[in-house]
Amino acid sequence: FDLRNEDLKDLQELGQGNGGSVKKVEHIPTGKIMAKKIVLIDAKPAVRKQILRELQIMHDCNSKYIISFWGAFIADPNICMCIELMDKGSLDGIYKKIGPIEIDVVGMVALAVLEGLTYLYDVHRIIHRDIKPSNILFNSQGEIKICDFGVSGELINSIADTFVGTSTYMSPERIQGAQYTVKSDVWSLGVSLIELALGRFPFSESVSDDSDLSDLEGTLSPARPGSMNSLASLGLPPSRKRTSATAKKDKRKSKGVSLQGGGMTMSILELLQHIVNEPAPRLTPEGRFPKQAENFVDSCLLKDPDQRKTPKDLLNDEWIIYAKTSPIDLEVWASTF
């Protein structure tokens, strides 16, 4: 059905990201409750129309591991997407509220994400490109679904042109400028699973309730003059480098990274360098988690993409097969917070 902004009543703010905000809304004509995502796009009207056309593919994405799509429209200057409301929110919000997530539930998250990624790729040839806890959603029926995948090439371009994301779930090969493949998503899944199991972002040593950029400072050595050079040595693709022209356009919250000055900027470059040069993070300390969980995470975080398995292959992993028969009832688990 045709969605119009006038028919939507804002009920509650659900969250904010780098690219916009998400609100709980009611579609007045039908009484349906949905999540409305407003994407700030600095693009010409023709490009916005193209994005809207490309987003229509989401109507054909039907899987219980993928968020349902109700429609999209342009509300100048923004693009709005109406998607299924997941009443327990995203997994980053959940662990920040209840602490580290028990490992058997983390296994069920891994299973759901692999199923979702396999569906997107096998049926639609879509690579997600942004797997992280904030894009894995949960509801009180105990369902786990992924959202914010790269359906629209134009949208990916527009976002890449206007801001540099946090990028910290990015695989070593992506940081070095290689093409995205389904295996890059597997790396991001590995990082995300460690984050859920430990209750903190794995590249940081300290525990913090705001786990992303704020605590990287403590982990990495302080900014050094000259470390800007590392951008070139990392081989970041040109579209990721920000010019002063695009910097001016960036009115997003400070979590966004600016390449102009500031210690935070250097930290991000150093983090990217760390991902490329240092051993991958692991589920630690050894022995705290089941061996199968450790092995699975290690296989997601193989630094050489040729050695890393695809989501489809990983569905046959021992730990994932175990998760399929898990006695845990996620609907009951959902009722505990």
Q: Give the catalytic positions in this structure.
A: 130
Which of the ranges 51-59, 103-111, 133-141, 187-195 carries the binding residues for ligand ATP, by CB under 6 A? 133-141
Which of the ranges 79-87, 171-179, 220-228, 232-240 carries the binding residues for ligand ATP, by CB under 6 A? 79-87
By C-beta, is 77 or 222 nearer to ligand ATP?
A: 77
From residue 146 to residue 165, the character string flagging contacts with Mg ion as x (rule: CB under 5 A) and all else as - is --x-----------------
Round to whole Å and give the CA distance between 61 and 58: 5
238 Cβ partners below 8 Å, 6+ apart?
none
- Using CB distances below 5 to 8 A depending on partner kind, what does residue 154 bind out of ligand ATP, Mg ion, none? none
Q: Which of 22, 101, 127, 198 binds ligand ATP (CB under 6 A)?
A: 22
Round to whole Å and give the CA distance between 164 and 239: 9
From residue 151 to residue 170, the character string flagging contacts with ligand ATP as x (rule: CB under 6 A) and all else as - is --------------xx----
Listed residue (143, 175, 124) closest to 64, CA to CA: 143
| # chain residues binding ligand ATP, by CB under 6 A | 24
- Tokens read off for 323: 């998760």
| DSSP string for 192-224 | HHHHHHHTS-TT-SS--SS-SGGGHHHHSPPP-
- Using CB distances below 5 to 8 A depending on partner kind, what does residue 213 bind out of Mg ion, ligand ATP, none? none
Instruction: Look up residue 270 and give its amino acid.
Output: E
Is residue 212 part of the contact set for Mg ion (CB under 5 A)?
Answer: no
183 is in an annotated binding site: no
Is residue 109 part of the contact set for ligand ATP (CB under 6 A)?
Answer: no
Is residue 268 part of the contact set for ligand ATP (CB under 6 A)?
Answer: no
The number of beta carbons lying within 10 Å of the beta carbon of residue 199 is: 16
Which of the ranges 78-86, 109-117, 178-186, 324-332 carries the binding residues for ligand ATP, by CB under 6 A? 78-86
Q: Which of 83, 111, 155, 280 binds ligand ATP (CB under 6 A)?
A: 83
Round to whole Å and give the CA distance between 22 and 196: 22
Q: How are strands ordered across the β-sheet holding 69-75?
A: 8-16, 20-27, 32-39, 78-83, 69-75
Number of residues assigned to the chain: 337
Residues 155/37, Cβ–Cβ less than 8 Å:
no
- Tokens read off for 164: 């540099």
Give binding residues for ATP as ranges: 37
Give binding residues as ranges: 37
**Could you list the residues that contact Mg ion (CB under 5 A)?**
135, 148
**Could you list the residues that contact ligand ATP (CB under 6 A)?**
14-20, 22, 35, 67, 83-86, 89-90, 93, 134-135, 137, 147-148, 165-166
